[in-house]
Amino acid sequence: MSEKTPHEKRYSTFFNQDFSLDLVLAGVWLAASILTIYLPYLNATPVRLVFTLPVMLFIPGYCFITALFPRDGDINLVERMVLSIGLSIVIVPLICLGLNFTPWGIRLNPIVISLTLFTLVMMVVAYYRRSLLPLKDRYSMPFSEITGTIREEIFPADTKKVDRYLSAVLVIAILMVIIITIFVIAVPKQGEQFTEFFILGENRTAAGYPDLTLQRQNYTMYVGVGNHEYEDITYTIETWMLRTEFDNVTNTTRIKVMDPNARLSLTLVHNETTIIPYNLSFNKTGYNRVEFLLFSENVPGFDVAGSDRINASYRELHLRVVNN
């Protein structure tokens, strides 16, 4: 039998070795955190925070450090843990910064996908680099001895009292950083409260709106609403057909006719945006303006009409059209 080539040896070693327990646990925890993010009801409980915090504060950095230092003894356990936390705090914002320059932006789904891919790639690299080492030289997380090992590394028995005090200060500082980070994530500062309200043309762009209309002809458009109010909001969208005239004496525009066209209610959670297809059509001629009114929670009765109804809306958009 011919001797295996180096490439065949690496291939055989890579696919025949057992997956390390620390990497298995990291993968299982990552999968569990994704489930807590997307499963209904569970994603609204504190369980989501319990599972997602280690993914943001420890696991990416740990997999990265494991890929860099696959050999047992490269760095001690305390250094490995501290670097894992520190690098995770750096890696996650860097991934978000990179997403900010992509079409996807800093949103939940792109962040979850990017962080998951990064962690999985680092796990595979760590697994591969360990497979190149002899079994006795591969790093293995000492789960059964982890508490005693960390205590011995931080507070060795033969150190001076001053060194022990400095080690205690270091531990307290690390714990404070972790607690502050958890607090910032769990209790984020509330930013500006606002609602997006916009209309798009038939190509879903801010262009291509109808400016010349025919009676009984449909014109495809889209109406979008984005909730950034930090609470669930039930919105009502109303569309009105108007005929307006400009008064040269008072230098104002007066509403001569205002007829209802469509009405829709929808509930959005915080940070949810929806874009709704809308077919604009005219059943009779004479209109020269289409008014889109957005109401938040409180919708006035139909006894409120004309300019008063427009002024009572939370957001207002309009299109000027010409009848052919």
Domain boundary among 132, 163, 186: 186
170 with 211, same domain? no
Residue 200, in any domain of the structure: yes
18 with 163, same domain? yes
224 with 172, same domain? no
pLDDT at 156: 65
34 with 149, same domain? yes
38 with 169, same domain? yes
pLDDT at 19: 65
Q: Give φ, ψ of 314 to 5 degrees.
A: -80, -40
pTM of the model: 0.53
234 with 167, same domain? no
Give me 42's structure tokens. Answer: 């569970």
Give me 12's structure tokens. Answer: 């055989």
13 with 139, same domain? yes
- Other CB atoms within a 10 A radius of the CB of residue 26 amount to 25
Residue 300, in any domain of the structure: yes
Give me 273's structure tokens. Answer: 């945006």
311 with 220, same domain? yes
Nearest-CA neighbor of 195 among 152, 241, 163, 237?
A: 237
Nearest-CA neighbor of 298 among 232, 236, 217?
A: 236
Angstrom distance (rounded) from CA 177 to CA 175 = 5
199 with 179, same domain? no
Give me 198's structure tokens. Answer: 């916009």
121 with 227, same domain? no
**Higher pLDDT among residues 6 and 197, named by residue:** 197
Residue 257, in any domain of the structure: yes
Beta carbons of 283 and 262 less than 8 angstroms apart: no
Give the structural domain span for 62. Answer: 6-186
154 with 210, same domain? no
Q: In the chain, how many domains are there?
A: 2
Average pLDDT, the chain: 81
Band the pLDDT of 53: cuts 50, 70, 90: confident
Domain boundary among 186, 214, 240: 186
pLDDT at 1: 45
**Higher pLDDT among residues 115 and 72, named by residue:** 115
Residue 1, in any domain of the structure: no
123: part of which helix (H) or strand (E)?
helix 108-131
